[in-house]
Amino acid sequence: MAYSYEDTLTETIAIKFISSNTYGGDMPYRVLLTENFLKELERVDEKTREEVFRVVRDLEWDVHRGKELSGYIRVKLPCGEVELKLWVVNVGDYRLYRIVDEKELTTYVISLRPKRKETSSPS
């Protein structure tokens, strides 16, 4: 199943830091943030925002952090329309959704959503 997703991409400032490359290659991934993600980020408190940016910085080297979801998402990129895998990373009470382009060494952070609350069933 493929989903369609269009949004304006905003490239993050590359933050270089000493870190072990858990991806296993010697090339960091480019991390791009979408306008939609940035709007959602404005709605969370400062502590959560800092935690989210720590995770986003780590994605440069740890592209397989989190869980790969089943299915693909169809994305319109400058090179054309492609289908990419959707990933989710838990960040506190939120889930950070992203797509990974292994060919272009790029991860696109597309959404930040609150985790669903567990509802208890009546006894």
pTM over 0.95: no
Q: Which residues sit opposite 68 in a β-bridge?
A: 87
Q: How many domains does the chain contain in total?
A: 1
What are the pLDDT digits (tens) for 15-58? 333 233 344 456 778 888 888 898 899 999 999 999 999 999 88
Angle, alpha carbons 85-89-92 (nearest 5°): 160
Residue whose token pair is 């006894």: 123
What are the pLDDT digits (tens) for 46-59? 999 999 999 998 88
Confidence at residue 8, expressed as pLDDT on a 0 to 100 scale: 46
Task: Kindly state the average pLDDT of the residues 57-79.
Answer: 84
Check pLDDT > 60 for residue 11.
Answer: no
The CA dihedral of 59, 78, 112, 118, to the nearest 10 degrees, is: -100
Q: Identify the CATH number of the domain in which residue 35 sits.
A: 3.30.2310.20
Inside any domain, residue 52: yes
Inside any domain, residue 104: yes
